[in-house]
Amino acid sequence: MSEGCAPSEAESFWWEVCVLTREAAWEAVSEALRSAGADGVRAEAVPGDGGAMRVCAYVLPHGREGEGEDAFAAFLADVRAGLGRIERAFAELGLDAGPLHVSSREVREADWAEAWKAFFVPLFLGKTFVVVPPWRDVPPEAEGRHVLRIDPGMAFGTGHHPSTALAVELLEATRVFGARVLDVGTGSGILALAACALGAQEVLAVDVDPLAVRVARENVAAAGVSARARVVEGDLLNPARERVEAGAPPFDLLLANLLLEPILRLLPEASEVLAPEGALILSGVLRSERETLEASLAASGFAVRAVREREGWVGVLAARAPALRSLP
């Protein structure tokens, strides 16, 4: 922990853990921090040091099992284990991941809530979207695009990560109008809102993190699409399965911007919640994991219709039948 005046017990605070890395590795470091249990992650260039990046994770103390220093030590151990894997993988490829130096301190929630906003600027996403935080104006050059007003809070989903961009691009290339859409691991709700903008008649957005559920509900309400998009807390396909078992129509499209492991867990059961000609858009998978993903898709009865890659990440459109057109 950093030295200095600690917040009072009555004041909410976060643990901040920052990793010094290089531009080539910052996304992998971000994923390592999220996998360790970070509630939010931001990245920034280090001034005056070309190519150096600082990636910082933020964790609520009560969000970890254990108490105080023990929980923090467990989080740091998970982070360092993830960084070790990154260092070895980059060394094998002859790439520089940087020093991967770890520093930590306590941050008052009010200070963090304002500081991170400076890093969230309007982002052009795909061919038809622009993501704009509520505290910024829509840029004039965004005319004609769908505006996604996203306040991510501490949830994943500003649109800046390549996996989100890949999912949006595949969504744009898919027939969404009139579809029933399931968004698993919704985070800030960005993909659910994108589906609504493209004309989905119904969206069920699911996340296991209650903080993400709260943030996504706020974004859905602010967008005025609460009549079509519902956000619920739950694990992977459980809420969708309960809905279908209760007699509701199955989904036409399943979105999952997750890591490989949860995607592999949901694939064998995806057919239980999808219409006979339903489709999947999957993202959050590394290029090195593509073969594993495609093998699991085939074993689960899905055929790959399109694949896109960006900065080492892979997005896949797969379907049980050609109900949704593939990319041109």
Binding-site residues for S-adenosyl-L-methionine, in ranges, read 164, 185, 207, 257
Question: What does the alpha-carbon distance between residue 210 and residue 278 come to, in Å, rounded to a whole number?
Answer: 28
Instruction: Give the containing element (helix H, strand E) for 77.
Output: helix 68-92
What letter represents residue 294's amino acid? E
Structure tokens at 137: 């104006």
Handedness of CA 300, 303, 308, 309 (dihedral sign): positive
Phi/psi of residue 121, each to 5°?
Answer: -115, 165
Question: What does the alpha-carbon distance between residue 174 and residue 198 come to, in Å, rounded to a whole number?
Answer: 10
Question: What does the alpha-carbon distance between residue 42 and residue 32 come to, in Å, rounded to a whole number?
Answer: 13
DSSP, res 106: E
Question: What does the alpha-carbon distance between residue 184 and residue 203 come to, in Å, rounded to a whole number?
Answer: 11
Instruction: Look at residue 210 and give its three-state secondary structure.
Output: helix
**Which residues are annotated as part of the binding site?**
164, 185, 207, 257
Question: What does the alpha-carbon distance between residue 168 and residue 163 come to, in Å, rounded to a whole number?
Answer: 9
Question: What does the alpha-carbon distance between residue 212 and residue 231 come to, in Å, rounded to a whole number?
Answer: 10
- How far from 238 is each of 43, 204, 209, CA to CA, in Å? 33, 12, 14
Helix axes 210-223 and 190-197, enclosed angle (nearest 10) = 30
Structure tokens at 108: 């008052």
